[in-house]
Amino acid sequence: MTRIGLVAGGLGTYWPQFPNLLPQLRESAAYVSQRFQEMDADVVDAGFISDAQEGAVAAEKLRQADCDLIVIFLATYLTASMVLPIAQRANTPVLIIDLQPTEKMDHATFGTGEWLAYCGQCPVPEMGNTFRRAGIPFRSVSGWLRQESAWERIGQWIRAAHVRAALRHARHGLMGHLYPGMLDVSTDLTLLPATFGSHVEVLEFDDLRVRVEQVTDAEVSDRMQEVRKIFTLDATVNEDDFAWGARVSVGLDRLVDDFDLDSLAYYHRGLDGEQHERLGAGMILGASLLTARGIPTTGEYELRTTVAQLATAAVGAGGSFCELQALNFEDNVVEMGHDGPAHLAVSARDPLLRGLGVYHGKRGWGVSVEFDVRPGPVTLLGLGQDRDGSLSFIAAEGTVVPGPLLAIGNTTSRVDFGRDPGEWVDAWSASGVGHHWSLSLDHRAADYRAAAGLLDIGFTQV
């Protein structure tokens, strides 16, 4: 659960001078606290501070709370000395908000006390300068108390905090080995805990094999019945292959539960139909069901892309495993998608289960997932890695448009980026994004940019 720290404050010197001011500011702080309590997050409210000593107490409370984001509400003017310790000691990204009571002051009736309730923006430059000098990233939202556009900007930072929370606490499973030759996919396992604080659990295909062997026929039958409610089964689906995919799916669920995984990347080449080859070929159905549950499960050992999918899922935008497929210069679209696991939430219709006699570029056979992405705005998010090892978010916004799609057991979409498809591919490839990425719903680049800021990694939008 994402944890948001909240503290409000103003300069205590004012309280004896203007007796009506503090009660008014406390009302505003109560409204702000209520809005945060209504968000999908665990809110740690450190109360209202009036001096540097109270600021230090709030800092200690929020430090112990281990928040994903701390929000400081400047109800009126207060000094930087009251705020800086909170940002320093909590070691957590901070968002400054100043929300005056209404759209404007009533100049004809206001005195100094009434004006001070509107003075929350006064210290914002002071905070910005102090944070810069202290080496602390500064971010703020200024507005008025019930201004929904301001709350939407605040909500963007809360969504970014969801991403930080998801990646900071994630347990990533990595099972099998690298798809031979895919140098861009190779990831230093220390990089994720070093960058985000997450954990990478190295698994064997035998960890899955043993669990699949323990699946009962009744469990297979139940899973097949569940799948028929979710998927449309194509005539090409072989019943034995379907049953095998269902059996592997139940085993996958147990693997994820036993190792408490938030994502799983896998690949096994196999040989001559041996057991591990059959396991690898039977993963697609179960992996798609897990991905739809918010546990990205992807092939080709793509650890970094499962991280990107976890980020897009954290903001409620789905996130399907994706790569380039072809360009259509007549319709001015880029065709993209992937064979194998997919995120069912981005489908325009009931997903199709198709039987395949061969998986291109991979050994084995069985059932695969196929659908077209729902028309409308989408955002791609990839996790890039630079020469120095640093990670970054790389995003692009486009629009899925209807049109002809391949029927070969792949998820496919036609994305219009508003420019020549070839030029877009060149720009996207030059960003350092790598072979795969997450395709998510809606235009979310601003959310992903904010999340990169909270995670202290780079961000590029193509």
Q: Give residue-wise pLDDT tens across range 271-283.
A: 777 888 889 888 8
- Residue 128 tokens read as 């910005």
Residues 252 and 266: beta-carbon distance below 8 Å: no
Q: At 268, is the pLDDT very low, low, confident or very high (cuts 50, 70, 90)?
A: confident
Lookup result for tokens 């196929």: 370
SS3 assignment, position 208: helix
Distance CA 151, CA 149 (A): 5
pLDDT tops 60 at residue 364: no
Structure tokens at 288: 């798609």
Domains of the chain in start order, with CATH, are: 3-146 (3.40.50.10940), 171-461 (3.20.14)
Q: How confident is the model at residue 365 (pLDDT cuts 50, 70, 90)?
A: low
Q: Is the pLDDT of residue 340 over 70?
A: no
Q: Is the per-residue pLDDT at 346 higher than 90?
A: no
64-73, 184-193, 336-345, 357-366: least confidently modelled range: 357-366
198/179: higher pLDDT: 198
* Better-predicted residue by pLDDT, 185 or 305: 305
Neighbours of 26 (CB within 10 A): 15
The beta-strand segments (E) located in 10-147 are 42-49, 69-74, 94-100, 140-144
Name the residue among 257, 256, 249 with its Cα closest to residue 215.
249
CA distances, 234 to each of 351, 367, 408 (Å): 10, 10, 11
Q: What percent of the chain has pLDDT over 90?
A: 71
**What local confidence, expressed as pLDDT, does residue 122 receive?**
95
Q: 197-222: buried (b, 16+ CB within 10 Å) or exposed (e) per residue?
A: ebbbeebebebbbebbeebeeebbee
293, pLDDT greater than 80: yes
Looking up tokens 């199709």, which residue turns up? 352
Of residues 70 and 343, more confidence is placed in: 70
Question: ∠39-44-50 over CA atoms, to 5°?
Answer: 115
Strands (DSSP E) found in 194-305? 199-203, 232-233, 263-267, 297-298
* Res 55: pLDDT: 95
Sheet of 171-176, strand order: 199-203, 171-176, 263-267, 297-298
pLDDT confidence bin for 358, thresholds 50/70/90 = low
Buried b or exposed e, range 355-366, using 16+ CB within 10 angstroms = bbeebeebbbbb
User: pTM score, two decimals?
Assistant: 0.91
The rounded mean pLDDT for the chain is 91
pLDDT tops 60 at residue 315: yes
Over range 10-30, report the average pLDDT. Answer: 95
Residues 336 and 324: beta-carbon distance below 8 Å: yes
The single-letter code of the amino acid at 338 is H
pLDDT at 184 exceeding the cut of 90: no
Residue 361 has pLDDT above 70, yes or no: no
What pLDDT is attached to residue 353? Answer: 82
What SS3 class is residue 303? Answer: helix
Query: What is residue 230's predicted lDDT score, i.e. its pLDDT?
Result: 86
Range 397-409 burial, b when 16+ CB lie within 10 A, else e: bbebeeeebeeeb
